[in-house]
A = this chain, B = another copy of it.
Amino acid sequence: MLSFTEENYLKTIYHLSDNGLKSVMTNEIAEMMETKPASVTDMIKRLAAKSLITYEKYYGVNVTKNGKSEALSIIRKHRLWETFLVAKLGFSWDEVHDVAEQLEHIQSPLLIEKLDEFLGFPSSDPHGHPIPDKHGKFHIARQILLAESTGKKASACAVKNSTPAFLQYLSKIGIYIGASVQVLEKIEFDGSLEILVDGKKKVYISREASENILVTE
């Protein structure tokens, strides 16, 4: 069983590796974990000893199949908890991360299965990130910028900019993750869009805003 700390390192390394596609360097990890490179080297050895990563001195680490599966299980828990906090407890998008960061380490497969069921087996979290299923499988919907949407009905699935100011603005005009959005008209003059939110509310948004909202068609 992994410690709290080992789990955090592994998750960070997995994210930095781009789903296991590339090697990750010691300094990157140190910066992301807000710790010192020397500490990272120590932990790298531990994780390598447990076959979660492979490690070649001075050349960074790669996540193994085992490591990927462990990382996905942690990410699954994190995203299910975020979903719970927003959907059931009324947290806002920007309040959930730190709490989910703690909750993701709770050890109880039964709890996660029941939580998943309670939430209705969601496929993405409040930020629009996919939630892996219990086998680590997840579906990456092709996301496009709302600015590039062609007028079909689409579903808001993520934001590029997640500053409180932007999130509040979105909330104000009725856009949330999962909201239906449809581009009705593109104003050639400034690139702003008239969109239909949830099939009923028409609003205008600037080109800049439309380039920070991701949708799946």
**Residues in chain A within 8 A of chain B (CB atoms):** 85, 88-91, 95, 98-99, 102-103, 106-108, 110-111, 114-115, 118
Q: How far is the CB of A48 from chain B (nearest CB, A)?
A: 27
Q: How far is the CB of A121 from chain B (nearest CB, A)?
A: 14
CB <8 Å contact, B99 and A111 = yes
Q: How far is the CB of A134 from chain B (nearest CB, A)?
A: 16
CB <8 Å contact, A99 and B106 = yes
Partner of A89, one of B91, B102, B111: B111
Partner of A102, one of B88, B95, B107, B110: B107
CB <8 Å contact, B114 and A90 = yes
In whole angstroms, how far apart are the Cα atoms of A108 and B103 in the complex?
11
Question: Which residue of chain B lies nearest to A110 when distances are taken between CB atoms in the complex?
Answer: B95
- Chain B residues whose CB sits within 8 angstroms of the CB of A110 once the complex forms: 91, 95, 99
